[in-house]
């Protein structure tokens, strides 16, 4: 060959859209394509983006293979660059065409570093030679960097995982996936959005349950809408006073995935006090008898997909009807910084149903949720107030149960709100349209 390297620019068309969004399949295929061509793989780094698309590169001793996919078009742009004569990039091309189920592809080959245009430098190259590997290196070991990324057009969260997807199934409602991440343990995602991780799930689940339970110590019956990961009912079932806990989850695959791969959250599904129902929470609330529950927790995902109907005035009015006269409704109420417009809208709805003086907001720090600051709503039908609770009992309970986040001080501090959150709570729908600013833009 009269050049230093061969560079093939590839386009694959009519690929499987599902495969073009599968970071694990793409990473495995790219590594296999390199090895099949005779290359020595050094490193692989791949990112999956939300809602869809994969970018990545396989670094080989002979150069690299790179890719970016557009699942919505069934299209992949691939870059194959090999140096020397030992690796044939066209072998990788044919391998990837089959792996991506492309109907056809096009490619253009460039010869890089034409030898007749190059002049060897008389610099002492031996001084640059890497004589021996560094002590921490293991010869022949491939370093893998495979990333899950949840993003929108403004911010992103990336978590590095092992490259092996623990769970992936499509239900009639959503795609349920579990990844094994290095920093946060197993990660549950629904339609590409982070739901919970093994390392920080306790923050969300402790705060959504213990705050209302200590301000309503006479509660006997509790209802959870959503929450198929099991963390919320795990925390509720710590209370012997609760005679019945009902969990209504629309998607049984969420429960299945968490039983298999997040057993710490799914630990209480066999508890005899748990009434587990696989059905639509909206339908259940409509058919529920008046004043049945002392506590109703709406443990829903974001207001998209199967949880979208849980964010309506009609639904919250039905919840109000189902609460006892001293009952409490708790919801996760989004990030006030990231979802400002939604935050304002749902609190305005709560106030119209429960009364402004009966609705309170409290915060918690959850690292894997957008902005790290997450909010919860506390709406009381009767005289219950979130800051009227037995401080000593909360302290003793937190210690006895070995809680990781909630205690009596956190309970009180969570209701101390930053000024920008107070301003949002005093706003009206339509006044705040910029999700990244607390200032009205209307």
* Known catalytic residue at 16: no
Residue 129 has pLDDT above 90, yes or no: no
Say which of 29, 55, 63, 427 is annotated catalytic.
Answer: 63
Query: Using 50, 70 and 90 to split pLDDT, how confident is the model at 309?
Result: low
Residue 439 has pLDDT above 50, yes or no: no
Q: What is the pLDDT of residue 1?
A: 60
Query: Using 50, 70 and 90 to split pLDDT, how confident is the model at 36?
Result: very high
Annotated binding residues for spermidine, written as ranges, equal 205, 229, 299-302
Percent of the chain clearing pLDDT 70 (strictly above)? 90
Residue 164 has pLDDT above 90, yes or no: no
Q: What is the pLDDT of residue 165?
A: 87
Annotated binding residues, written as ranges, equal 174, 205, 229, 249, 280-281, 299-302, 306
Residue 127 has pLDDT above 50, yes or no: yes
* Known catalytic residue at 55: no
**Section 231-236 average pLDDT:** 98
- The pLDDT mean for the chain works out to 89
* Known catalytic residue at 411: no
pLDDT tens-digit series, residues 388-414: 999 999 999 999 999 999 999 999 999
Domains 3-114 and 201-425 share a fold: no
Residue 239 has pLDDT above 50, yes or no: yes
Residue 146 has pLDDT above 90, yes or no: no
Say which of 83, 258, 288, 322 is annotated catalytic.
Answer: 83
pTM of the model: 0.76
pLDDT tens-digit series, residues 256-306: 999 999 999 999 999 999 999 999 999 999 999 999 999 999 998 755 444
Annotated binding residues for S-methyl-5'-thioadenosine, written as ranges, equal 174, 249, 280-281, 306
At the topology level, CATH places domain 3-114 in 3.60.90
pLDDT tens-digit series, residues 75-99: 999 999 999 888 899 999 999 999 9
Q: Where are the domains of the chain?
A: 3-114, 201-425
Q: What is the pLDDT of residue 437?
A: 44
**216/222 Cα distance (integer angstroms):** 11
**315/288 Cα distance (integer angstroms):** 12
**Section 360-371 average pLDDT:** 94
**Of 34-43, 137-146, 154-163, 179-188, the least confident:** 137-146
Q: What is the pLDDT of residue 125?
A: 58
* Known catalytic residue at 63: yes
CATH of domain 201-425: 3.40.50.150
Q: What is the pLDDT of residue 192?
A: 86
**Section 145-160 average pLDDT:** 80
pLDDT tens-digit series, residues 53-74: 999 999 998 899 999 999 999 9
Say which of 64, 268, 299, 379 is annotated catalytic.
Answer: 299
Say which of 50, 68, 79, 88 is annotated catalytic.
Answer: 68
């Amino acid at each position: 060959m009269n050049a230093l390297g061969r560079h093939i620019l590839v386009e694959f068309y009519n690929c499987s859209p599902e495969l073009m969004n599968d970071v694990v399949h793409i990473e495995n295929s790219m590594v296999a394509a390199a090895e099949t061509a005779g290359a020595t793989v050094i490193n692989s780094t791949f990112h999956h983006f939300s809602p869809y698309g994969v970018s990545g590169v396989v670094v080989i001793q002979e150069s690299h293979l790179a890719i970016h996919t557009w699942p919505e078009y069934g299209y992949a742009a691939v870059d194959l660059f090999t140096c020397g004569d030992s690796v044939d990039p066209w072998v990788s091309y044919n391998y990837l065409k089959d792996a991506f189920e492309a109907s056809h592809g096009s490619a253009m080959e460039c010869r890089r570093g034409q030898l007749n245009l190059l002049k060897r430098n008389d610099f002492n190259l031996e001084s640059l030679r890497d004589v021996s590997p560094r002590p921490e290196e293991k010869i022949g070991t491939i370093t893998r960097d495979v990333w899950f990324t949840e993003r929108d057009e403004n911010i992103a969260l990336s978590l590095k995982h092992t490259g092996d997807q623990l769970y992936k199934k499509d239900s009639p409602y959503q795609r349920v996936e579990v990844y094994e991440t290095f920093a946060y343990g197993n990660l549950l995602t629904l339609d590409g959005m982070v739901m919970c991780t093994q390392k920080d799930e306790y923050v969300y689940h402790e705060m959504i349950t213990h705050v209302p339970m200590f301000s309503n110590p006479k509660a006997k019956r509790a209802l959870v809408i959503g929450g198929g990961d099991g963390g919320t009912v795990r925390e509720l079932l710590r209370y012997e006073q609760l005679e019945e806990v009902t969990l209504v989850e629309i998607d049984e695959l969420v429960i299945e995935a968490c039983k298999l791969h997040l057993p710490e959250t799914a630990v209480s599904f066999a508890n005899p006090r748990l009434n587990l129902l696989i059905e639509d929470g909206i339908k259940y609330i409509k058919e529920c008898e008046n004043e049945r529950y002392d506590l109703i927790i709406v443990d829903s995902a974001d207001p998209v997909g199967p949880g979208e109907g849980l964010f309506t005035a009609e639904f919250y009015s039905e919840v109000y009807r189902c609460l006892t006269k001293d009952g409490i409704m708790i919801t996760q109420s989004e990030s006030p910084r990231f979802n400002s417009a939604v935050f304002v809208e749902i609190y305005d709805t709560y106030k119209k149903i429960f009364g402004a003086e009966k609705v309170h907001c409290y915060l918690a720090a959850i690292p894997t949720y957008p902005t790290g600051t997450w909010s919860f709503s506390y709406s009381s039908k009767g005289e219950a107030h979130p800051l009227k609770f037995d401080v000593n009992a909360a302290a003793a309970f937190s210690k006895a149960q070995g809680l990781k986040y909630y205690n009596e001080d956190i309970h009180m501090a969570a209701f101390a709100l930053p000024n920008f959150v107070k301003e949002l709570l005093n706003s009206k729908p339509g006044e705040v349209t910029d999700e990244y600013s607390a200032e009205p833009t209307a």
